[in-house]
Amino acid sequence: MRNEYVQAVLAVVRLVPAGSAVSYGDVAELLGSGGPRQIGYVMSHHGGSVPWWRILKASGHAPEGHEAEALLFYLEEGTPLLGAFSSYLRTGEGRWRVDLNTARWAPTDNDFDRIDIIAEQLERSLHRLSVADDGMIL
């Protein structure tokens, strides 16, 4: 995984505002590069420095193994939830998920501009790298 790609993904994730969320696939689509699994890879290995809980499965379920911690952030940010999150909070039992239909981030024109810039920078660096690789083959 190119570092440029990782940085681009993290840059997009940082734009997602508190109280909202997007799916892994959404991020890939906004970035115009890679797929949901690539975003998942980046988040699992480099997501620690960004609001990782705002990126979830398309179903609205929090990232594997981080449900409890993520739930605290959702409650804090007022992220719309579905299901038995309160009993999950008390007993650890019960299933819940983010109401992605309501919570899904709708980027403003300004946000789209920023995303375009990020995507464009990524394209440039990847193209440059591919040219360099060709040179190495000879």
Partner DNA sequence: ATTCTGACTTGCT
Partner DNA sequence: AAGCAAGCCAGAA
- Structural tokens at position 41: 């890879």
For DNA, what does the binding mask look like between residues 56 and 75, x meaning CB under 7 A? -xxx---xxxx---------
DSSP per-residue letters across 21-84: BEEHHHHHHHHTSS-HHHHHHHHHHHGGGS-GGGEE-TTSPPPTT-HHHHHHHHHHHT--EEES
Closest Cα to residue 42, out of 14, 80, 83? 14
- At residue 107, φ and ψ (nearest 5 deg) are -60, 140
| Residue span binding DNA (CB under 7 A) among the ranges 43-51, 101-109, 115-123, 128-136 | 43-51
Toward DNA, which CB reaches closer, 52 or 105?
52
Question: Which residue of 23, 30, 74, 81 would you call a contact of DNA, by CB under 7 A?
Answer: 23
Is residue 43 within the footprint of DNA (CB under 7 A)?
yes
Taking CB under 7 A as the binding criterion, the range among 40-48, 85-93, 103-111, 128-136 that sits at the site for DNA is 40-48
H/E run at residue 124: helix 109-137
Q: Which residues of this chain interact with DNA, rule CB under 7 A?
A: 1-2, 23-26, 33-41, 43-44, 47-48, 52, 55, 57-59, 63-66, 82-83, 95, 97
